[in-house]
Chains A and B, each alone.
Chain A
Amino acid sequence: DTAVSQTPKYLVTQMGNDKSIKCEQNLGHDTMYWYKQDSKKFLKIMFSYNNKELIINETVPNRFSPKSPDKAHLNLHINSLELGDSAVYFCASSQGDELYIQYFGAGTRLSVL
C-alpha cells in the first residue's frame, strides 16, 4: 500500500483553467503539506495542515486553495492556472514531534500550456 498517494500523476491543461490535485495518507500522521518544486528543483513549502487546521500558509497566490476534509486528506485546488504554475507538486505528511521526517507522495507534474 502506498503511504502517501496523490492523483493525478500528470496534469496537462490550458491557461485559465481550474484544476485540483488530491492527496491521501494512510500513515495516521496528523500533519500534511503541499510543496512546489520548480524547474530548478527548488522544493518550497506552500501549505501545512495539522489535524485539518491550516498552520502554514507561505506566500502563495490566493488562486491556490488547500482543503483538508479530514486529517488523512489534503487537496489542492488551483484557479485560473498560469504558465508559471507549471511545476511538480508534492504532498507530504509527518507526525508529532518528528515534523521534519516527512513522507512524500510521488508528485503531480503540472504543465500549463
Chain B
Amino acid sequence: RKEVEQDPGPFNVPEGATVAFNCTYSNSASQSFFWYRQDCRKEPKLLMSVYSSGNEDGRFTAQLNRASQYISLLIRDSKLSDSATYLCVVNTGSYIPTFGRGTSLIVHP
C-alpha cells in the first residue's frame, strides 16, 4: 500500500456544486496533514493545514479521520477558479514530507 493515496480524478463538477476529495495514509503514526493546491503549470501552494478537530476556511473544510486513516477536503459552492490539482501532504514522522499524487478538479460553467 502506498504511503499516501489519492484518487487522481478528474472530478468534473458544475459551478456551485459541492465536491469532496479524500486522501488515505498508511502510517498510523502520522502526525500532521496538509492540503496543497497546484494550478496547471504552476507550483504547489499551501491551501490549509488539517487539524484533528477539523477546520474551515471560507468554502473549504478539511477533516481528519484517524480511525480510518484519511483526510478529506470539502469545497462548497465551487467556482471556476477552484479548478486545480489538490495535493495532500502527510507528515510520516520523518523529515520527508510525503505528497499524494493529487486529485484533479475541473469546475465547468
Contacts and interface: CB of A to CB of B under 8 A. Distances in A.
A90 B44 contact: yes
A101 B95 contact: no
Interface residues of B, number: 19
Interface in A70-113: 90, 99-102, 104-107
A12 interface: no
By DSSP majority rule, is chain B's interface helix, strand, loop, or mixed? strand
A40 B101 contact: yes
Interface residues of A, number: 19
A29 to B, nearest CB: 14
A107 B43 contact: yes
A43 interface: yes
Given A42-B101, A43-B99, A99-B95, A104 B89 contact: no
B88 to A, nearest CB: 11
Interface of B: 32, 34, 38, 42-46, 49, 85, 87, 89, 91, 95-97, 99, 101-102
Interface of A: 40-45, 48, 55-56, 58, 90, 99-102, 104-107
